[in-house]
Amino acid sequence: MHRSRFNFYLALLLTGLLPAGCLSPESLKKRQPGAIAIHLEVAPDGTNLNEPVPIYRAQPVMVNVERTPFLTEINVSEAKVVDAIGGFAIRVQFDRQGTWLLEQRSVAYHGRRFAIFCKFGEHLKNERWLAAPVISRRIPDGVLVFTPDASRAEADDIVLGLNNIAREVEKKNKW
């Protein structure tokens, strides 16, 4: 994962949270950050540009991915937990740039997978690879829906954090 960009935005968000030391746990939760990184599945080529990662905790499947994500939380405009057959899914709507990138990659990498990494919860204490959906069609609308390796409460935390970051990015882009 490209840590310098992620750490910059995380530091920026956390600096905004420092004055909140006297707030209640509920109001702090409303400000908790979240991070997501969408990586592409690639063939191993012996370089340090890609690495195998474990997807799913119960029975891990190793998926070889590019180390650098092509989409991050900075590209998220909205996230939701939605009902799906047999449970729930996370629906992520990306901004204009994210929509273009998602469409390009879904066409160029048809039949491969997107590997989804996430940091969530209080102080981003939880982090793991959530899913690796197969790219089965062109995605022109900027919406990625996936079933996460997470409980419903964890999915709610992920979505809360992503929406908090999306609001912060939107505020900064208005200036």
Going from the N-terminus, what domains does the chain have, and what CATH number goes with each? Answer: 3-174 (3.30.1360.200)
Interatomic CA distance for residues 132 and 146, integer angstroms: 8
With contact defined as beta carbons under 8 Å apart, do 87 and 73 qualify? no
Distance (Å, whole) CA 172 – CA 8: 14
Comparison of pLDDT for 5 and 148, the residue scoring more: 148
pTM of this prediction? 0.81
Average pLDDT, integer, range 126-151: 96
Identify which has the larger pLDDT, 75 or 173. Answer: 75
Model confidence at 4: pLDDT above 80: no
Over range 53-71, report the average pLDDT: 96
pLDDT of residue 1: 47
Can you give the pLDDT at residue 119?
95
Confidence category of residue 3, pLDDT binned at 50, 70, 90: low
Predicted confidence band of residue 173 (pLDDT cuts 50, 70, 90): confident
51/76 Cα distance (integer angstroms): 25
Asked if residues 117 and 130 have their Cβ atoms less than 8 Å apart, the reply is: yes
At 5-32, the pLDDT tens digits run: 555 555 555 555 555 455 445 554 567 9
Q: What was the pLDDT predicted at 171?
A: 85
